[in-house]
Every structure is written in structure tokens, then in C-alpha cells.
């Protein structure tokens, strides 16, 4: 298959073609210069690497009803929120099946990798690993210890099965525990992530001590908070649709202007389906609605480039012949490709060659 139109990856958009064989890019170049000279199927479109969903909670996917009209704390705050009561009363087999169903959906949507924050300690991560067997894309699972005060043996067992630790907030985890968790993660070559300034502004010096590998949400962070985050080089994952359910929004224009390394996720599966395409469109439109517009290029990098670098797989964001990036084809006009991909892409116009 030869796709003629535009190639869009970590190097930006450019007119051209890509020849794809067995799901691998084998040739790229300027339009009209391909080596086959018409001896292959040709289509029009935009070729991109696969996006990353940089923050999910797939463990609560078994709840698919409309979220209650109540406060954020009443729904997702541990341990008494609706989510945690459901987790406590749902059989493991049901949770495993629900997670597997969401991973299948992500696969159909052309996802390239997933970063999940998984509750329920060692068992929670093991259930996720069971659900994820057989999928061909990278899945990073961040576990969360269950015992308080922090239990060192449990933490070590959790790090045996998880890719890192993902905590709820500084309000729920004392500094001593956070420091111990960060030290353990560094020692084991794992990553440490943290929700921060989600429902209310939190002290930036608190959530940056110890320095996390990833912050999530930051909807209530001030300009000076984000300036410090940018200076420290800590990436931020935003989840615009789940924030909107509670009347909040990340200030994406500020993140773009300050140069904060930004990633995009879909958050709780009980609140939204894990479509990065819907997330991108909503983020772009919500920013314009708020009078705080952002560039499609910023959002493209947040889904297709920055997360691959954060995962240590930067080559997956670049479409080079024979490289590891698995391409997607978006069958839309190649004019203004970043806008087309960010705002107009749906499952119906996407091919997974």
C-alpha cells in the first residue's frame, strides 16, 4: 500500500508518501518518487505513528452507567467514593473481563501504548496483567500500595509486578511515605507518578518533593506552579473530558505557552471511553470555547510524540523506513494535517495497515 498526501510524526508535517508493507513503513519520500511507479495500491491520506493513552484507570471499566450527579470526592476519592466501593464488591473475574474489553477497544482505536494507574495493590496489578495477556502494544501499569502506614514488604512485592507506583495525591500520602516510594522506585528502575492539584490547588513544593516522573491533571495549578514544573522538567498528563464532568479544565494554553511537556490521557473508564481521538477533539474545542485556544501541533505532540519519549521509546514517534513505529493511516485531506488528525479523526476514517 502507498499512502499519498502527508506524513506527520515527530519531525512535523510534510507532503509526501509512505509505502507500508505488513504494518511497517518500508519507504517514504516526495510525492511521485516512489520506487514502485504505480505497481501497488494507492490511497490518499495522512500517515501518523500510533498515539499513546498516557493516563487510564481501566480497573473501574465494569461500571458503565451515567456517573452520579455528585461531587468529585463522592465518586472517585479513596476509600469511600463510588469507585472504590464498586472495586471492593466486584469479583476479580468481572474486573479482569472489563479491563480486557477496554484493551480490545484501545487496540481497535489504533492505540500504540497505554499507561494505567491501577489500584488494589499487588492483586490489582496481577489482575491487570492477566487481562493484558496477548496484546501487542506496550502497557505500563502503575500500582498503588494498600497498607497504611506504608509497608515495605508490600511495596517491594508491588514493584515486582508493576512498572511503577501511581499515587492519588499529596493530601492522602505523607511526605515520608512519598519519599520512601520514590526511593524504592529509583532503586528498582521503576517510575513514580502522582495526581496533583486536581480538585484544589496543592502546594507545588509538596508534590515536587520528591520529584515525580509524571504528574496528572494539574487543573488547579497556578502559573507560577506550572513554571516551576516546567523548570524541573516534570511531564504533565491532562484528561480534559473527565475534568469537565466536575466543572474543571486544564489550562492547556498556559501549558503550551510555558513549555510544559504535556501528555494526554482519558482517565477513568467508568467516566469515559478510552478514545484518544475523542479526547483530542474535546481538548481542542474546549480550549477555544474558553477563549484560550491552543495549536493542533501542541495536541498532536501530546498524544503522538511526548509520551513515546517519556516511555523511553522515542523512535516509535518517527516514521522511518524499517523503524519500529507502527503507522496509522487517516483517510482525510492532507491539507493542514495536524488539525485533521487532532480534530477530525474518528475510527471510521482510520486504517491500521
- Say whether both 24 and 151 belong to one domain: no
- Say whether both 11 and 71 belong to one domain: no
- Say whether both 146 and 107 belong to one domain: yes
27, 154, 167, 185, 245 from 181: Cα distances, Å: 45, 11, 10, 6, 31
Question: What is the share, in percent, of the chain residues with pLDDT greater than 70?
Answer: 100
- Say whether both 63 and 34 belong to one domain: no
Of 217, 158, 146, 207, the closest CA to residue 184 belongs to 158
> Per-residue pLDDT for 278 more than 90?
yes
- Say whether both 44 and 56 belong to one domain: no
Give pLDDT, residue 67: 82
- Say whether both 93 and 240 belong to one domain: yes
- Rounded to two decimals, the pTM is 0.97
Give pLDDT, residue 16: 97
> Per-residue pLDDT for 39 more than 80?
no
> Per-residue pLDDT for 274 more than 90?
yes
Q: If you average pLDDT over residues 85-89, what whole number do you get? A: 93
Give pLDDT, residue 276: 97
Q: How many structural domains comprise the chain?
A: 2
- Say whether both 229 and 264 belong to one domain: yes
- Say whether both 42 and 113 belong to one domain: no
Q: If you average pLDDT over residues 116-141, what whole number do you get? A: 98
The pLDDT tens digits for 163-178 are 999 999 999 999 999 9
Give pLDDT, residue 129: 98
- Say whether both 7 and 107 belong to one domain: no
> Per-residue pLDDT for 40 more than 90?
no
Domain assignment of residue 122, given as a range: 52-310
Q: 33-37, 88-92, 183-187, 311-315: which has the minimum mean pLDDT?
A: 33-37
CATH number of the domain to which 266 belongs: 3.20.20.140
CATH number of the domain to which 30 belongs: 2.30.40.10
- Say whether both 99 and 233 belong to one domain: yes
Amino acid at each position: 500500500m502507498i499512502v499519498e498526501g502527508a506524513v506527520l510524526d515527530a519531525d512535523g508535517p510534510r507532503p509526501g508518501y509512505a509505502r507500508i508493507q505488513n504494518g511497517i513503513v518500508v519507504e517514504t519520500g516526495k510525492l511521485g518518487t516512489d520506487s514502485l511507479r504505480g505497481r501497488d495500491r494507492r490511497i490518499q491520506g495522512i500517515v501518523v505513528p500510533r498515539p499513546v493513552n498516557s493516563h487510564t484507570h481501566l480497573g473501574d471499566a465494569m461500571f458503565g452507567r451515567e456517573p452520579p450527579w455528585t461531587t468529585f470526592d463522592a465518586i472517585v476519592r479513596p476509600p469511600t467514593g463510588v469507585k472504590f466501593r464498586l472495586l471492593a464488591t466486584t469479583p476479580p473475574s468481572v474486573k479482569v473481563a472489563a479491563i480486557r474489553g477496554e484493551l480490545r477497544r484501545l487496540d481497535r482505536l489504533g492505540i500504540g501504548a497505554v499507561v494505567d494507574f491501577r489500584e488494589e495493590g499487588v492483586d490489582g496489578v496481577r489482575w491487570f496483567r492477566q487481562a493484558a495477556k496477548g496484546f501487542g502494544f506496550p502497557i505500563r501499569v502503575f500500582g498503588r500500595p494498600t497498607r497504611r502506614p506504608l509497608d515495605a514488604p508490600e511495596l517491594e512485592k508491588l514493584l515486582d509486578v508493576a512498572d511503577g507506583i501511581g499515587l492519588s495525591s499529596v493530601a492522602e500520602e505523607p511526605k515520608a511515605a512519598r519519599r520512601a516510594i520514590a526511593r524504592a522506585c529509583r532503586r528498582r528502575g521503576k517510575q513514580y507518578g502522582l495526581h496533583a492539584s486536581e480538585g484544589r490547588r496543592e502546594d507545588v513544593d509538596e508534590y515536587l518533593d520528591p520529584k515525580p516522573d509524571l504528574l496528572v491533571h494539574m487543573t488547579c495549578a497556578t502559573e507560577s506552579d506550572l513554571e516551576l514544573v516546567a523548570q524541573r522538567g516534570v511531564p504533565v498528563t491532562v484528561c480534559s473530558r473527565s475534568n469537565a464532568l466536575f466543572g474543571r479544565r486544564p489550562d492547556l494554553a498556559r501549558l503550551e505557552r510555558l513549555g510544559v511537556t504535556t501528555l494526554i490521557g482519558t482517565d477513568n473508564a467508568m467516566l469515559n471511553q478510552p478514545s484518544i481521538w475523542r479526547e483530542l477533539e474535546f481538548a481542542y474545542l474546549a480550549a477555544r470555547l474558553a477563549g484560550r485556544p491552543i495549536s493542533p501541533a501542541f495536541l498532536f505532540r501530546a498524544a503522538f510524540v511526548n509520551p513515546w519519549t517519556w516511555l523511553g521509546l522515542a523512535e516509535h514517534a518517527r516514521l522511518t523506513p524499517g523503524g519500529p513505529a507502527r503507522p496509522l493511516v487517516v483517510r482525510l485531506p492532507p491539507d493542514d494535517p495536524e488539525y485533521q488528525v487532532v480534530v477530525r479523526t474518528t475510527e471510521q476514517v482510520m486504517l491500521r495497515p
